[in-house]
Amino acid sequence: MISISATLQNFGIIHLLKSLFEGASCSYEYSKKGIIRYIKNPQCEECGTIMNQNGYNIVTKRNIGSVKVGKYICPSCKATHHTDIRFWNEQKGMVRDLLGELLMCLKNGGNSYRRMAEIMNYFVPFEKSSLYSQFYQIVEKSEFIPSNIKGKIAIINFDEEYLKISGKWRYRLTLLNYETKLPIAEKVVKKLTDEVIIEFIKSNFNPEQYDKIYVVTDLKPSYSNIFKSLFGKKLVHQYCLFHLYQLICKEFSKNSSISDLLLQYRLMNIFYNYDSEIDQIKKIAEEENSLVPSDKKELKSWTKEKKEEIFAHFFEHRNEDSNKLREPVEAYLNMLELYEDYEKMPSNIQKRLEMIDNSILNFLAYRSIPNAPATNNAIEGYFSVTTDPILKKQMKTIKGADIAIKSYSFERTKRFIAKIETKKFKPSTTLIELILPLRLLGNPL
C-alpha cells in the first residue's frame, strides 16, 4: 500500500512518485514535507515495542537526487531504525545501468573521455576521472555473450589485428560467427605464436557438435597446420581471395604498362569474372604495342591517360556478371591458360602463379559449402568499426584495449538482437524517466 499526501502543487506528479514504489514489499507514506515513512510504525527488533517517529535523515546521490528517510526510536531500549528505502537503491541501479549504456555508446563512437565528460554535463555531470572508472566498472560487470553457431556446419572467420599499445605491438585475436557477424571470442595478447592461437581457439570453440567447420583466414602459412591440428578431417579451409588480390596488385607498379595491367587482370580473372575488363584492356594493349614513342615521358603520359579511360569504362559498363565468383573447373582452366605464358612472365609473377597453383584447393573451398564466403571481409569490416584510428590512439594498456573491444561487442549484439526481432534499437527507458521521480521525491513542489 502507498499513501501520498496530495497537495495542489504535487497533484500533477503523483503518478511519477507512485511509479517509484511499485513492487515495494513495505507500505509507505509520503508526507507533505517529503518524508518517506512506514504507514504503521514498526516494532523494535530488540524488544518488540512499537517505535516512535524520530525525525529524518537525508540520503543523497550526487547529481541525481535526494530523499528524506524517516527515523524511528524505541521508547524502551532506545534502539534506532530507518525506513527501508530499497526501492530508492533499485532506481539508482537502473540509472547507473542506463548511464553505462550511454557511456558505451559515446565511447564506441570514438569520443575521448574528455569529450564524453563534456557531453555528460548536459545530462548527469561527471568528472573525467569518475567517468573513466564508471565506464570500466560497467563494461567489466557486463557478461560477454558469445555468438553461437546453429546447425551442423560452422562457418567462422579468424584473423589477427596488430595494435600498438604504449609503443609496443600487441595482437588482437578474433573468432567471428560469419552468419551473425558477431564475435565468438576475442582476446588481446602480448605475443603471437602458434601455441597462443591454438590455446585461444581451443578454449573458446568446441568442434564436437559440428560435421564440418568452414574457416576463412588470410594467407599466413602457419594457419593451415594450426587449423588441421584443431579440427582434423572436419576442416574446410578457405584462403581469403581479397588478401590474394591485394598481393597480386602489389606485384605491379602504379606506373606499369598496359601489357602489365592486362597480366594483372588475367591473374585476377582466375577466381572472379573479369572477362569484359580483359577484352577492353586487350584493345589498348594492342595499340600500345604498335606505338613508337619518341621518349619515355611521352609514353608515361600516354599510359596514364589510357588507364584513366580504361577505369572510367569499367565504372560505366559494369554488368551483372562482372566480378562473379567462378566455378572451380573454370577457375582451374584459367590458371592453366596463364601457364602457357609462364616463360614470358617476370620472376615475381611466376612465383605468385606457383603459389596460387600450390594452394588452389584452399582458394576454391568456397564451392564446397553452400553460401560460404570466399573472403575474410566480414571480420575486416568488424575490425574497421571496433578499432578505428581514434579508438586505437586511446588504447594505452591491454586491459584498456579489451574493455574498448568488449564495449563495442555488447552494443553490436544488442543491435543484432533488435534486428532479428524487427525492432528499432532503442533503450527500454530514458534517463529523464528514471531521474525525474528521484528529483521530485527529494524536492517536493
Confidence of residue 23 (pLDDT cuts 50, 70, 90): low
Q: Which residue has the cell 611466376?
A: 350
Strands (E), 151-309: 153-165, 168-177, 182-189, 212-217, 235-239
Q: How far, in Å, are 247, 250, 291, 310, 341 from residue 253 at the CA level?
A: 12, 7, 21, 17, 20
Q: In the predicted model, what is the mean pLDDT of the chain?
A: 80
pLDDT reported for residue 445: 47
Reply yes or no on whether the pLDDT at 283 is more than 60.
yes
Tell which wins on pLDDT, 441 or 355. Answer: 355
Interhelix angle 398-420/377-386, nearest 10 degrees = 120
pLDDT reported for residue 18: 61
pLDDT reported for residue 422: 58
Strand, helix or coil for residue 319 = coil
Q: Which three cell numbers stand for residue 140?
A: 567489466
Q: What average pLDDT does this structure show over 194-208?
A: 93
Q: Using CA atoms, how far apart are residues 314 and 276, in angstroms rounded to an integer?
A: 9
Residue 31 CA, distance from chain mean position: 49
Confidence of residue 360 (pLDDT cuts 50, 70, 90): very high
pLDDT reported for residue 418: 57
Please indicate, yes or no, whether the overall pTM of this predicted structure exceeds 0.85. no
Q: ∠ at Cα 407 (403, 411), nearest 5°?
A: 170
Q: What is the pLDDT of residues 255-270, one digit of tens each?
A: 888 888 889 999 999 9
pLDDT reported for residue 351: 94
Structural domains in the chain plus CATH codes = 2-84 (no CATH), 86-142+397-439 (no CATH), 153-240+375-396 (3.30.420.10), 242-291+302-367 (no CATH)
144 secondary structure, DSSP code: P
Q: What is the pLDDT of residues 114-140, one digit of tens each?
A: 888 888 888 777 777 777 777 777 777
Task: Judge whether 192 and 184 are in contact, CB under 8 Å.
Answer: no
Reply yes or no on whether the pLDDT at 213 is more than 90.
yes
